[in-house]
A and B are shown apart, each in its own frame.
Chain A
Amino acid sequence: MNAVYLVFGIIIPYAALFIFVVGLVYRIVRWASSPVPFRIPTTCGQQKSLPWIKSKKIENPYNNAGVIGRMALEVLVFRSLLRNTKTELRRGIQKLVYKDSKLLWLGAFVFHWSLLIILLRHLRLFVEPVPAFVISLQRLDGLFQIMLPTLYITDILIVLALGYLLLRRMAGAQLRYISLFSDYFAVLLLLGIALSGIFMRYIFRVDLVSVKELALGVLSFHPSIPAAGIGLAFYVHLFLVCTLFAYFPFSKLVHMAGVFLSPTRNLANNSRMRRHINPWNYPVKVHTYQEWEDEFREHMKDAGLPLEKE
């Protein structure tokens, strides 16, 4: 029995963390090795040109500050998702209609921020002494002070958001058609992690002192399975988390790192100010008119053709 705990409590978590870190760094280096020969920013506003034409600094950035501003807004509030539109065939009028669809933005926003807050709150299990910001965050999240253990707002929100993101894929015919196994797997895995965590908190409670003992052991590289033992619910939660971490670098979830390397987001639209040289350019042999004229000068003179240089 002890060997099973060793595998699920120590070996798999180490392996998953290793795959996560090495895999992510590998993916970043791979991306960085692909040349981006010209600027392909998506521009949604007036480009910087003449001084008296007002330009959009963030919609169409021309310098690093603009790019950083656009990237920060993209990463923190998913700004481009606000432009999401939906195409629908209206039976009554027999026409395709395009309309705004902000619900996806809301679902993604609520999910990602809940995830971040939950992960930061989890730090109380991984570090000793518990930093003050974790306690403040926990207080804020448990603002309603209902139920014991205290109900966290983010627990409700993450389940609602993931539920919406899952149903969205299943409800519409077009989206269902383009959804692949990996699309469902990522959402279901995250939902499984959140639900197993919530079940562990309210129904199958485990001894958090032993959990923290295990976590501190693993993180300080002196791992040991706590003598008191930890409930099965914890190992279920931990295994799902390890699955997520190990799956991460191979899946579409790498967009966590990829968003920073998207050429349409991270390039300044300065093609008219700076010359960008294609990195794989080789010197092209050219034959200019002047050279051509030099070559055929005599023949041209004989034929009475006009010459640029006598």
Chain B
Amino acid sequence: MYDKGKIIAGIVIFLILITFPIWYLTAHSQTSHVPQLQAAAGNECVESTSYMLDNHMKLLDEWRTLVVRDGNDTYVASNGQEWNISLTGTCLSCHNKAEFCDQCHTYEGVTLNCWSCHFAGY
């Protein structure tokens, strides 16, 4: 091998960079951390739990369009139940923002700007 010093230095830098998540996880020892969500009030969400888990932002988008574009503030869920459309009034009446929404979003590194306008004194 020629230029041994430089080649080995290069390989070591490459290995450190590529294994960054492993070092970082070990340093913070949070490998099995999962968000501990506060239980919601009520016994059913607007849609099924699994749908909400994956698609709640799509539902909120739909809600926003219904209110802002169509002037319709009632949402009929797939099981026929009617909901008054309101991010703060409906979602947060059952869910706690800090203990529910934020927990998950911090874990996933999601930053929402919704709360800068939608405010309900949480």
B-binding residues in A (CB < 8 A): 21, 24-25, 28-29, 32-36, 123-131, 134-135, 138-139, 145, 147-149, 205-209, 212-213, 216-217, 219-220, 222, 228, 231, 257, 260, 279
A100 vs B81: C-alpha distance in the bound complex, in angstroms? 64
Q: How far is the CB of B3 from chain A (nearest CB, A)?
A: 6
Judging by beta carbons under 8 Å apart, are B55 and A205 in contact? Answer: yes
Q: Which 6 A-B pairs have the closest CB atoms?
A: A124-B109, A130-B109, A220-B31, A148-B61, A205-B54, A126-B21
Interface residue stretch chosen among B22-30, B38-46, B67-75, B94-102: B22-30
A131 vs B109: C-alpha distance in the bound complex, in angstroms? 9
Tell me the interface secondary structure of chain A in the complex. Answer: helix
Tell me the interface secondary structure of chain B in the complex. Answer: helix
Interface size on B, residues (CB 8 A): 39
Most A CB contacts (10 A, CB to CB) among B2, B20, B21, B60 go to B21
Most A CB contacts (10 A, CB to CB) among B20, B30, B31, B104 go to B31
Judging by beta carbons under 8 Å apart, are B2 and A128 in contact? Answer: no
In this assembly, does B83 line the interface, its C-beta being within 8 Å of a C-beta of chain A? no
B-chain residues with CB within 8 Å of residue A222 when the two chains form the complex: 31-32
Pairs A–B under 8 Å by Cβ, sample size 10: A25-B14, A32-B4, A34-B2, A127-B25, A135-B109, A138-B109, A145-B113, A207-B53, A216-B31, A217-B32
A interface footprint on B46-60 (CB within 8 Å = 1, 0 otherwise): 000010011101101
Judging by beta carbons under 8 Å apart, are B108 and A28 in contact? Answer: no
B-chain residues with CB within 8 Å of residue A28 when the two chains form the complex: 7, 10-11
A231 vs B51: C-alpha distance in the bound complex, in angstroms? 12
B-chain residues with CB within 8 Å of residue A205 when the two chains form the complex: 54-55, 58
Query: A205-B54, A220-B31 known; A279 and B2 CB under 8 Å?
Result: yes
Judging by beta carbons under 8 Å apart, are B22 and A220 in contact? Answer: yes
Q: How far is the CB of B48 from chain A (nearest CB, A)?
A: 13
A226 to chain B: closest residue by CB: B34
